[in-house]
Amino acid sequence: MRILSELEGVSLGVVAKRQPCTAYRVRSELKQAPSSHWQASAGSVYPLLKRLEAEGLVETTTDENDGRGRKLLKVTSRGKMSLKAWVMAGADPELISSVTDPVRSRTFFLDILSARKQGEFLNNMIALMEDYLVETKTRMAQGRASRDVYDYLGSLGAMKVTEARLDWLRIVQRRLR
């Protein structure tokens, strides 16, 4: 059994959590997730779900209550085993350091910009992160209200990471003044 990619694991997890559900529901959940690194485009989600079906990880049935022939997804027992393996594979030292941060990457090269442009970049990043933090706190409150402890905890993680990134950016901003 191969280990799923991040997008495959998250998509399979959404199906498991919301089953039976449509591919559109999976795509919607990814678009609303506090992690923007998951591609929620139709061009990535729908083919991915088809691949998971071809591998026997999800199965589709036709919604009998829907005249349009809408397809409903459910995780198979093989899919559940694969999802469990993906979750457990997260305890890997290589994954701990694999966090991509495009803001941090650009910071290494800020010296190519004038002091004014550096300040503009940092002000923009801080403003965007502050907005994202508000959105994340709203999602966290919704998770708490729905009593979905896992949505709440995932959003809490996103909030803490964003707060740490904001603290770091403010340090960068002060050092470059």
Whether 27 and 63 share a structural domain: yes
Report pLDDT for 37: 58
Whether 16 and 83 share a structural domain: yes
**Is 50 among the domain residues?**
yes
Report pLDDT for 60: 94
Q: How far apart, in whole angstroms, are the C-alpha atoms of residue 27 and residue 44?
A: 9
Instruction: Read off the CATH number of the domain in which 31 is found.
Output: 1.10.10.10
Mean pLDDT (whole number) for 90-116: 82
Threshold 0.75, pTM exceeds: no
**Is 115 among the domain residues?**
yes
Residue 142 pLDDT exceeds 60: yes
Q: How far apart, in whole angstroms, are the C-alpha atoms of residue 39 and residue 35?
A: 10
Whether 20 and 83 share a structural domain: yes
Residue 47 pLDDT exceeds 80: yes
Mean pLDDT (whole number) for 147-174: 89
Mean pLDDT for the chain?
Answer: 87
Residue 36 pLDDT exceeds 60: no
Tokens 């998971």 locate to 52
Whether 55 and 106 share a structural domain: no
**Is 51 among the domain residues?**
yes
Higher-pLDDT residue of 55 and 7 is: 55
Domain of 91 in residue numbering reads as 6-96
Can you read off the two tokens belonging to residue 18? Answer: 């919301």
Mean pLDDT (whole number) for 63-68: 79
Can you read off the two tokens belonging to residue 10? Answer: 């998250």
Report pLDDT for 114: 93
Instruction: Residue 150: count other Cβ atoms within 10 Å of its Cβ.
Output: 10
* Helix axis angle, 6-18 to 77-88, nearest 10°: 130
Can you read off the two tokens belonging to residue 77? Answer: 């027992």
Among 69, 96, 123, the domain boundary falls at: 96
**Is 1 among the domain residues?**
no
Percent of the chain with pLDDT over 70: 93
Whether 81 and 137 share a structural domain: no
Report pLDDT for 98: 66
State the total domains in the chain.
Answer: 2
Among 71, 96, 121, the domain boundary falls at: 96
Q: How far apart, in whole angstroms, are the C-alpha atoms of residue 132 and residue 73?
A: 31
Give the closest residue to 75 by CA, choosing from 24, 30, 26: 26
- Per-residue pLDDT band for 76 (boundaries 50, 70, 90) equals very high
Percent of the chain with pLDDT over 90: 49
Q: How far apart are the first and last CA of the chain?
A: 53
Mean pLDDT (whole number) for 114-141: 91
Among 66, 96, 126, the domain boundary falls at: 96
